[in-house]
Homo-oligomer: A and B are copies of this chain.
Amino acid sequence: MPKNYWGEIKDPVHGYVYITEAEKTIIDSYPVQRLHRLRQLAGAEYVYPGANHTRFEHSVGVMYLAGRVAENPYISQIVSEEEAETVKLAGLLHDVGHGPFSHVFEHLLIKELDKTHEDITSWIINKSELKDTISKAGYRPEDIAKLAVGKLHKPKKAFLDQIISSTVDVDKQDFIVRDTHHTGAEYGYIDIFRLIQNLDVLGENLAIELGALSALESLIIARIESFKSIYFHRVGRSAQIMLAMAMEQANEELGLTRFKTPEQYLAMDDYTAYAMLKNCKKSSGIIRNLERRKLLKCAYEKTFYEKDTMISNIFSRETYRKQLQSEIAKEAKVQIATVIIDVPTVPSVPYEHSVLTESMEIPVFYKTPEGRKIPQRLSEISKIFETLKGFINILRVYTDEENREKVSSAATKILGRTPTSARISY
């Protein structure tokens, strides 16, 4: 039981989450309660009708898992009580900077203001009512603001940042399991508690004892399968692209990126943004189509895996995408605006997780019978890891229903034959 136990929250994934009085005051604040109105997977409902969960529920889950890490047999010996609570609160608040439709809005944030949702997260923790609430609860807002985005950089304690932000962080652990529960996609039932139980440090870095190797591999694979089946799903992406287009086209009129204060930013959520986009002439047509499931159709698709980011880099440059778009449109004899190039690896695409598998190693080790930790190279030990490290690039060409065949032929001519591929779920 936590000290100052206040009560519990029933989570469909982790069961009862016991919280303290201090945590409750922060959870009840406006910036956290607002997360009830930010869906975790905007657009995914067109594929998985059950995908309606929110960032609120996810944030509570991340806080819970952060707490579990902090009390495991190894980490618990090297963190103070205050550090443990700071990690939990950083987990709770790591997503407060998200805007309407989460990563869809981030696309606009980056483009217009050169900011990510993480920049906003720190800003909000430091400048909104959260600052006071956290202080009153007895913690340091400025530390939490940094730790929530994995940048506390506490001397000799890099692992604190890595609990919140790394290849095996509690954010990923939570969303993979939670997204599976609500979508029914069944790729993400992984043994996160084995992983958590085997987290330790090497030097100052978070590391994994090899007893949890299978759980670690499962996490990496589940993440990739989840990207392919949920986050980068052809149909879900289509809806997200349409939302992103609606926002871009309406932005000048609606001023979505003209916020000055945290309060102005936080006034936007899925509900209010949706109503604005529906009422704005610039975007109402797209919304109209979304509401009738008239989605952009995928006319061409190719997936390729790369060890480095070269290809992604090429496609991330707008000029190149524009040129490809114009070539295909010309070949297909359709209007340029009808052809949409989607390359979800690159940062300009509305996905924070666009880089799937870091090229960096995950620190792992085994213990000698005497208890000495011997570092290992994961890529030597795990063939699965060695294979999967690198990047998944998906190149897709979308267009509207009526031009699908023409654009498909044109894209195939220019880009090479590739499966028009199967219907995947609804």
A residues whose Cβ falls under 8 Å from a Cβ of B: 1, 5, 7-13, 15-16, 19, 28-30, 33-34, 36-37, 39, 45, 47-50, 52-54, 56-57, 60, 71-73, 76, 181-187, 189-191, 193-194, 197-198, 209-212, 214, 217-218, 221, 225, 228-229, 270-272, 274-276, 278, 291-293, 305, 366-369, 374, 376, 383-384, 386-388, 405, 419-426
- Are B388 and A383 in touch, CB under 8 angstroms? yes
A343 shortest CB reach to chain B, Å: 18
Among B45, B221, B292, contact of A221 (Cβ-Cβ < 8 Å): B221
Nearest residue (CB) in B for A408 is B369
Known A-B contacts A29-B292, A45-B36, A53-B50; the reply to A211 vs B424 at CB < 8 A is: yes
- Are A182 and B184 in touch, CB under 8 angstroms? no
Among B7, B184, B421, contact of A426 (Cβ-Cβ < 8 Å): B7
Known A-B contacts A193-B16, A387-B383; the reply to A420 vs B49 at CB < 8 A is: no
Contacts beyond the supplied A12-B181, A369-B420, A384-B384: 16 A-B pairs with Cβ under 8 Å: A1-B76, A8-B426, A10-B47, A10-B50, A10-B184, A28-B293, A36-B45, A49-B57, A50-B182, A186-B190, A187-B218, A189-B189, A210-B421, A212-B422, A214-B225, A270-B271
- Are B376 and A384 in touch, CB under 8 angstroms? no
- Are B50 and A11 in touch, CB under 8 angstroms? yes
Q: A274, A386, A426 — which one has the most chain B CB atoms within 10 A of its CB?
A: A426
A220 shortest CB reach to chain B, Å: 10
A31 to B50 CA separation, bound complex (whole angstroms):
18
Q: How many copies does the complex hold?
A: 4
Q: Which residues of B contact A270 (CB under 8 A)?
A: 271
Nearest residue (CB) in B for A178 is B50
A274 to B383 CA separation, bound complex (whole angstroms):
39
Q: A34, A212, A217, A419 — which one has the most chain B CB atoms within 10 A of its CB?
A: A419
- Are B184 and A374 in touch, CB under 8 angstroms? no
A217 to B225 CA separation, bound complex (whole angstroms):
9
- Are A54 and B49 in touch, CB under 8 angstroms? yes
